[in-house]
Amino acid sequence: MPPGRSDAMHDQSNYFDQIVQRYHNTIAGQFYGHTHQDQFAIAYSNNLERTAANAVSVGLIAPALTPRGGNPCFKMYDVDPDTYEIMDARVFMSDLSDPTFQTTPTWRLSYSARETYGPLVGLKPTEPLSPGFWHGLTEAFVTNDTAFQQYIAFKARGMGTHMCWGNCKTYSICDMRTMRVEDKCNAATLGLNFSDETGVASTISDNDCEPMGIRHILTKIVTKMVSCAHRGILRFP
């Protein structure tokens, strides 16, 4: 589970970040699932000044094989055998609408991160997909909306895609630049909120994901109690 998502506890996420900061020269990579979406999240040595120079680690989040909320996908990483640096991340996808999917699914390369994103940041042939590379990609997304919308389509696994503008784009790019829950990009509101962290309605149902984390459950309980108290339905001692 990515430590910067909303179903992680604040203190757990913060302690994990401290470990990353201390050992980032030793940590070769961070690999996650859980969200069922194709994403990444960057850790910085200075969260008040998020730059390529301050990017110290990146969490690579794989899409899911689960055939709900998107086409089944899996991600393969090319690793340098000497340095253990990540040289590429390739996503393979099978099409649910293919008549042969249920019997003989066909897996095709959806995209290569190196081939698709490398030209956007001037990645050299021998350079790895470093934390600085991923930060540079977020900067490219700010100015290159075509590339950003392509990322959104990849994220959704080819189904239920939507155009992401305005606050949605702002929140999405901010989300890429955080590995701590306390740096969550959109402000909390009273009542139950079924939007994802990008500020738009999620294309994934609750049934698509693993059981909700304890932080998520407790937050919903407290928020509901406060909302009821404001309406006079519930009184605290």
Q: Beta-carbon neighbour count of residue 191 at 10 Å?
A: 9
Q: Which residues of 118-140 are buried (b: 16+ CB within 10 A; e: fewer)?
A: bebbebeeeebbbbbbbbbbbeb
Give 6-12's long-range contacts (Cβ < 8 A, gap of 24+): 6/181, 6/184, 6/197, 6/215, 6/216, 7/212, 7/213, 7/215, 7/216, 8/181, 8/213, 8/215, 9/181, 9/213, 9/214, 9/215, 10/181, 10/182, 10/215
Instruction: Report, as ranges of residue numbers, the positions in the chain whose pLDDT lies below 50.
Output: 188-209, 211, 236
60, two tokens: 């690579």
User: Which residue's entry shows tokens 């519930």?
Assistant: 234
Pairing of strands 73-79, 86-93: antiparallel
pTM of the model: 0.80
- In sign, the C-alpha dihedral spanning 88, 41, 84, 118 is positive
pLDDT recorded at residue 218: 66
pLDDT recorded at residue 207: 41
- How far apart are the C-alpha atoms of 129 and 117, rounded to whole Å? 10
Q: Beta-carbon neighbour count of residue 206 at 10 Å?
A: 9
pLDDT recorded at residue 208: 45
- How far apart are the C-alpha atoms of 185 and 168, rounded to whole Å? 11
Nearest of 128, 172, 177 to residue 154 by alpha carbon: 172
Nearest of 7, 72, 16, 70 to residue 34 by alpha carbon: 7
Q: Which residues of 71-101 are buried (b: 16+ CB within 10 A; e: fewer)?
A: bbbbbeeeeeeeeeebbebbbbbbbbeeeee
pLDDT recorded at residue 62: 96
